[in-house]
Amino acid sequence: MRFYYNIFSFLISLLCSLSLYAAPSGNPAFPELLREGYFIPAASWVDLRLGFEGDFVNNARMQQRVEGHGRIDTYAQISNSGTATLNFLDKLDIYGVFGNSRTNANWRFLTAFQTTNRIEMETNYSFLGAIGARALFYQWGDTTLGVGGRYSQTSPPLSSMTLNGTPTPTTNARLHWREWQINLSLSHAIEIFIPYIGIKYSHTTSWVGSLPIAISESGAGKLHMQNGHPVGLIIGCSLTTSRFFILNIEGRLIDEEAATISADIRF
Would you give per-residue pLDDT tens digits along the chain (267 residues)?
443 444 444 444 444 433 333 588 999 999 999 999 999 998 999 999 999 999 999 999 999 999 999 999 999 999 999 999 999 999 999 999 999 999 999 999 999 889 999 999 999 999 999 999 999 999 999 999 999 999 999 999 999 999 999 999 998 899 999 999 999 999 999 999 999 999 999 999 999 988 999 999 999 999 999 999 999 999 999 999 999 999 999 999 999 999 999 999 999
Cα 227–chain centre separation: 13
Beta strands in the chain (DSSP E): 46-59, 62-65, 72-88, 92-110, 116-123, 126-140, 143-154, 158-163, 166-167, 175-188, 193-208, 223-227, 231-240, 245-253, 257-266
Where residue 54 sits, what CATH number does that domain have?
2.40.128
Q: Is residue 204 part of a domain?
A: yes
The parent domain of residue 116 ranges over 2-29+41-188+200-266
Q: How far apart are the first and last CA of the chain?
A: 28
Residue 210: the pLDDT is 87
Angle at 177 between CA 28 and CA 186, to 5 degrees: 10
34 domain residue, yes or no: no
pLDDT computed for residue 141 by the predictor: 93
Domain membership of residue 165 (yes or no) is: yes
In a domain, 50, yes or no: yes
Decide if 203 contacts 183 (C-beta within 8 A): no
Residues near 178 by beta carbon (within 8 Å), at least 6 away in sequence: 151, 152, 153, 204, 205, 206
**Domain assignment present for 193:** no
Would 36 be classed as within a structural domain? no
In sequence order, what DSSP letters do the residues of 46-91 get, joined into one string? EEEEEEEEEEEEEE--EEEESS--SBEEEEEEEEEEEEEEEEETTT
Q: How many domains does the chain have?
A: 1
Residue 161 within any structural domain of the chain: yes
Residue 134 lies in a domain: yes
